[in-house]
Chains A and B, each alone.
Chain A
């Protein structure tokens, strides 16, 4: 089954409020497991499915953004170039310089790229016809979080040496020696497992839940729209009122979701910058 909201709604079309008594079936997590177009039968893989297509579209959107905003770059920027420059300076001032300092300018291109890519993957959840945020599949945030985790180690090792980096991450400063056996495992688990895991889950879970919520509102709107109810015109009119409320909720949450999509992309790059800043800083 496709993850398209209209497909979900269409599949529920036989059941209506004030109808023949069959109840409302809420959209399920099957939304996030689209039927693969090409399945290679490899264990642990999903085959080529809608996520791949939407990810490629997201990539093209991100590339197109830069192409159209910077192809005629001038000292006095035009409208498109201003948007791109505003984004870059915003991320520089609010993310890399805040978390890393002046040295963070070196990581600004990475952070801007990550932000645009994640935002365009998120926003695919609102594009009619696609309606599937790529980041609602755990694999995509996982790869990005893994990239930052690797970079965090590489940056730390290059700056402080392998010993210095791992010591700074495992042995907390200013702690008596006898308590180290208690706290070193906590530091290890916290820094090397839980932090990268929460980094990816934060993005994945927000997009997953947001998409499910939108699908629920849309499906409820279709379910409750039954103007030709066999129970009478009064019920028919009531159903239209109910449906209007559900669709109003859908619109409000769509706007809210757009905001969340931008915020989550921002949070992801902010955390990435904080981690890199910490690796550069060394012992705390």
Chain B
């Protein structure tokens, strides 16, 4: 089971794009924005922290770490209260600015009363973990719903010559879509925010370079003991319905699917509330250090490109699983390289769907 929360507070900006680089000819780049970083980015940091002695557990070998490391996320929290972090809202709960609604199952079909809520849109995509079991109205009443707490800011960077402290003659400047964490505003005031990940390995507190463009962040690890409500929630067995709070990666090495084709999972295809897939790819072991771009960049191993079922997706199926995500067998997950279960893929929590 996850034993730690790792919080990441940017010192200044974080990076906003996973790879899609902006050049003088292409100064914008809405298409390339991706934030917050996937759990794999943190896994990469933990592997490099092993080499530099920044893990709290000492004397681990690389192989032991490979076996023991599980990470999941991304989530975020108010700095003052990291244990009560925000996770994706399951899609059957619709939290709008003015109104709320909920999908139910009637006669084996998804149903909601569109006459009373004709125009409702899901404006909030995050909710505090302590309100996981609440109805949409209760979530709003507790001010536990939130929108993204980061904004994209274009930033101009110099690109230096390798042997002089001078900007390169050509393409000496490039623009980056940086990301700024914003305070989380609520009626009583506002709080500074940080990113949160779940992990089985703790990092020593301190400043690290994080993510593809290696901006400085402050990291600390918070222990989760066995009685923590988070651990309790994560251990709760999933019966016949659940929602994804991590990217859903199913399928083979050739194809990405919406649910695993595995007889232990479910004989029948599940009822789902979902959306179009997101591309999912990770890089492990990228070289930190001198900042490089373009083809010069020394990169680590790039995984197979896959497509993920978006977080918040709800699954309802016939046969109860009776197992929490933690106990799901690894052969439900695609197999290749670093096991995807270790990267928090398909991390799910049980949900209650009203049926009639």
Mutual binders A and B: no
Partner-B contacts on A (CB < 8 A) = none
